[in-house]
Amino acid sequence: MSVEVPLSRFSLIPGLTFLLLLGCGGASAPSFNVTPEPRTVVVGDQLPISATSNEEMGGDLAWEVEEPYGGGLRNSLGPNTVYFAPESAGTYHLVLRADRADGHKLKQTVEVKVLPVITVEPASAQVAPGGSVAFTAAVKGLARNTVRWTVDEPGGGEISDEGRYQPPAKPGTYHVTAVSTLDSQASARATVVVAG
């Protein structure tokens, strides 16, 4: 909306007018609907992403990764792309740009969360009471490859900081879990069958 206001009310020069531009408050709605939502992927993996708009576009949609070393894209033009996650976990940003049919430029930034991965070896094991199993954990995407080991079931045996599991005397199926010391959301689980 524009309103013409006589400048003479604000100035010593009579008869001079200026244009006062008044904007409607509030944040503008996103220009693009980006799917999937939420956008999460594990380190080193791929995530297909699509963007649509209700507005008429005057050209191709352009994609780019905002951060250096923040991953890559299969193609940078068009409504569909594939995001290649980097080898480091974190939150990264994709920038979408396009021209509307009326010439106005549109820009929108969306987040992609890249999650670390933990693998436990062996994924399953069988052991007799009095025996032991050595587990190892590999952490991908975090600065340290360190984990905290736990046995999930009460009375399900013990596991050392190094991953050596000592089963209980009672036969059954138990589980050990490795949790990253840097990210408590990153974990992996293995199954142990204690056979008498």
The torsion angles phi and psi of 53, rounded to 5 degrees, stand at -140, 145
**Residue that finishes a domain, picked among 89, 115, 141:** 115
Give the domain range for residue 129: 117-194
pLDDT tens digits along 30-62: 678 999 999 999 999 999 999 988 778 877 899
Sheet of 46-52, strands arranged across: 33-35, 46-52, 80-84, 72-73
The residues pairing with 16 across neighbouring beta strands, listed in sequence order, are: none
Whether residue 121 is found in the same domain as residue 103: no
Q: How many domains does the chain have?
A: 2
108 and 46 belong to one structural domain: yes
Q: Where are the extended beta strands (E) located within 43-156? A: 46-52, 62-65, 72-73, 80-84, 90-99, 105-115, 117-121, 124-127, 133-134, 136-140, 147-151
pLDDT per position as a tens digit, 66-119: 999 999 999 899 999 999 999 999 999 999 999 888 888 889 999 999 999 999
Structure-token pair, residue 119 = 């693998």
Query: 111 and 49 in one domain?
Result: yes
Residue 21 placed within a domain: no
